[in-house]
Amino acid sequence: MLGQANQTRVCGQSFPCSCARAATGSIRTTVLSLNSREVFVIGSARAFAPVALILSMVLSSTAQAPTSASLPAKSSDEESALVAFAAIHPIDVHVHVFKTGAAFQKMLGRLNLRLLNILVIDDTLAYRKQLQPQIDDALTLVRSSHGHIALCTTFDPYKFDSASFSSDAIKQINRDFAQGAVAVKIWKNIGMEIKDSSGQYVMADDPNFEPIYKDIASHGKTLMTHQAEPDVAWGPADVSDPSWTYYRENPQWYVANRPGFPSKQRILEARDHVLANHPKLRMVGVHLGSMERDLDNIASHLDKYPNFAIDTAARMEYLMLTPPEKVRAFLMKYQDRVLYGTDLDLPPDANFPEALQEWQSTYARDWRFLATAETLSVEGKQIQGLNLPQPVLQKIFRSNAIRWLPGL
């Protein structure tokens, strides 16, 4: 749940990201898997009525129209991208899943996909307010996933002023480690919401967190950090920014001109202090490390802190809207430090067909951007795919996750 949750799109919880859909309307027959059945979907049947009639006669005994519980048909471009995506046995290190079902499990199997399900405590969403019910549900999901889902746990930062805060948090995350959790998440409410007893915003480098970080490192686990937000959260408003829709729908996180509110730089400096003070602690800065518009800054952090990596969750559009030659050069140079993530979510009230179509469209779009030289339409702009070499794709989509998140 590394993100902001009550947003509908690819950015499940924590961050926004409007996703471009692959074009539909292919005229060739495609085999799709729908509700555990294989059916043939014929595009542009009216334009090719004679062919459609013959095929319908041949296939009438098996072909069935999708029901309301079926997945929508995918275009041939999207399906081809998903086949290539699945072949690499990808790992998405940043999702928030609150329910499951046969169609979801089937998608994971068909895509050879492994997920890191991230927990977050968020006092603005009923299903995220309490930690233990989230842990219980997440562990049940892990056990029922046939090896497709792992857990990134968290601790309750709203108990910060408790005298036993650090020790209680350590006991809880150690219990979760014993049950298979591979990482711990700290979210943006540290730095942007929670205040101490003196009314000061609590930062990630607060001494009360030190024993927790040491414990995570001693267990060989990884700290996933969502600190700060995209630049646009501090203003000015910019409707062209990929994250702007999120702040329009979640104004509590739009902090422009708030008296006494910490700067983005202050929040990220606190995170950097944790990196410097705990060189044996692996840290993945999610959402491009909240440096989404500055690849040079990300590069300088990766150069300075060998224990730091980033994920792409809910920030792929920023990469797509950056000059492709710059993005490609960055990914080639730092190919060992970038993990693929989406921030996709599946909330308790999710509509499965709609949600799974969004998941699949997102994976297809991201694959096409990173792995091909195709032209994509994003935010009304034509974007050139990066056509990264296969060994680099293998690292970004899979092996970096295994390296930076042992046990995954």
* CATH number of the CATH domain containing 119: 3.20.20.140
Give residue 346's pLDDT: 95
> Are 251 and 117 contained in the same domain?
yes
* Overall pTM surpassing 0.95 (yes/no): no
Higher pLDDT, 42 or 213: 213
Give residue 127's pLDDT: 81
Overall average pLDDT of the 236-244 stretch: 95
Q: How many other C-beta atoms are found inside a 10 Å radius of the C-beta of residue 387?
A: 14
Residues spanned by the domain of 31: 26-73
Confidence of residue 128 (pLDDT cuts 50, 70, 90): confident
What is the distance in angstroms between the CA of the first residue and the CA of the last residue of the chain?
Answer: 17
- 43 is written with which tokens? 């595009």
> Are 81 and 46 contained in the same domain?
no
In a domain, 230, yes or no: yes
pLDDT 10s digits, 325-372:
999 999 999 999 999 999 999 999 999 999 999 999 999 999 999 999
> Are 152 and 43 contained in the same domain?
no
Computed over every residue of the chain, the mean pLDDT equals 85
In a domain, 1, yes or no: no
Q: Do residues 345 and 15 make contact, with C-beta atoms less than 8 angstroms apart?
A: no
Cα 277 from Cα 273, distance rounded (Å): 6
> Are 51 and 107 contained in the same domain?
no
User: Is the confidence at residue 402, as pLDDT, over 60?
Assistant: yes
Overall average pLDDT of the 239-256 stretch: 94
Give residue 74's pLDDT: 67
Q: Do residues 284 and 216 make contact, with C-beta atoms less than 8 angstroms apart?
A: no
> Are 200 and 52 contained in the same domain?
no
Q: Do residues 97 and 41 make contact, with C-beta atoms less than 8 angstroms apart?
A: no
Overall average pLDDT of the 149-165 stretch: 97
> Are 251 and 390 contained in the same domain?
yes
In a domain, 15, yes or no: no
3-state secondary structure of 75: coil
Overall average pLDDT of the 248-266 stretch: 95
Confidence of residue 193 (pLDDT cuts 50, 70, 90): very high
> Are 96 and 214 contained in the same domain?
yes
Higher pLDDT, 378 or 373: 373
Residues in the chain, total: 408
In angstroms, the Cα distances linking 222 to 153, 225, 283 are 11, 10, 6
Give residue 75's pLDDT: 74
Q: At what angle do helices 210-218 and 165-178 cross, to 10 degrees?
A: 20
User: Is the confidence at residue 163, as pLDDT, over 50?
Assistant: yes
Give residue 73's pLDDT: 55
Cα 115 from Cα 330, distance rounded (Å): 25
> Are 68 and 99 contained in the same domain?
no
Please report the beta strands in 242-346, taking only residues with DSSP state E, as ranges in sequence order: 282-285, 308-311, 338-339, 344-346
The residue whose two tokens read 């555990």 is: 36
Cα 402 from Cα 58, distance rounded (Å): 47
pLDDT 10s digits, 40-81:
232 333 333 333 333 333 333 333 333 334 445 567 889 999
Total structural domains within the chain: 2
> Are 167 and 212 contained in the same domain?
yes
> Are 156 and 186 contained in the same domain?
yes
pLDDT 10s digits, 88-110:
999 999 999 999 999 999 999 99
In angstroms, the Cα distances linking 17 to 185, 229, 242, 339, 362 are 21, 13, 6, 17, 10
In a domain, 2, yes or no: no
> Are 92 and 52 contained in the same domain?
no
Backbone angles phi, psi at 115, to 5 degrees: -120, 145
> Are 55 and 152 contained in the same domain?
no
Higher pLDDT, 115 or 26: 115
Confidence of residue 379 (pLDDT cuts 50, 70, 90): confident
**Cα–Cα nearest to 400, from 51, 92, 24:** 92
